[in-house]
Structure 1
């Protein structure tokens, strides 16, 4: 549908002028990881947690890859979501990100791979969720907190998303979904990911998939024309 445009416009990457010092960053972050529930599933933090960075046109993102012990597989979906979300929020609230050139680096993706799974079975979550709605990607599916926890009292109504969301809000949400599903464009397949993202945005904002796709394309064109 709009894959060719996205591939052309979205993934034109620019490197930062200064690479992040991942060794110093690790020295600051490892002790914080040990304070989270995620640490229960890490045998040796020196060997089982890897740090990397990804350059994008809007900044440099630092990613964490965790090799978890196989007991992580005993968690149900809600429990796995909570472990990733709590770790992501704790790091976002407590880590001072290093410089990448003139700007601060940004948090990228937290990946947790239990010992006996591979590929799409890896659990993924954006660490600093700019949409304020954490989403876990696992086994090719995405899970939001509202999908996993349903309440029967009137408080449910306060969590419903307004149908008057702006195009900018919808676009930012779709950007976050693309980043999580494609590892920041590395694994982007238009015929797979375009429908997934459009469907997720349509469900969240009470619009059609076609409207979601058109909003994304229009914003990408608008952004490209501003350069």
Structure 2
């Protein structure tokens, strides 16, 4: 309560100290980044940006606009209006915010008017609240992150293993048997993101070679196809 009163007092004092320049326009308060003044013919109107945004004067006094704090440069000692949080997702009404779980570095919230939308960084990236963007994980910009495990509808998730192909090369996208269907298998993109794919009709997945192969070379799948290979089968592209 005392802190809020102090902020209000400082805001009132700043308004008293500010005086409009000779030219009409919109001018940021020198002490509070989300406050600005509309100066028109000698009359000053004090205004506030929506909670979470700050006044952007980059285009000059003729333009009235508010923007995200990571776009606008504010003095280190600048104050802001009291936050108007909405749930755990939006510490302020507008902005981009980290997930409440500090180990979840890939998901974040885009809040607009207090309404959150969950966003997810692409593979290899983590969210950086300071810049409002996803940054490369290997830069170490976030600490304590735990990889998000993605589970398919049938319960499969990518195992944390290194897989070597028959040519001796380590696979970037590991491949895994689908237990209940010889033709289908899982591909783990970047070792983290699983998807199900299928071998061309007439072939099955060979767990030893990690390739599609003739059923004759995979004993447990020798009788996978009926006499008509097309019967009851649906092709999925690789």
More helix by share: 1
Larger Rg computed on CA atoms = 2
> Structure 1-normalised TM-score?
0.22
More strand by share: 2
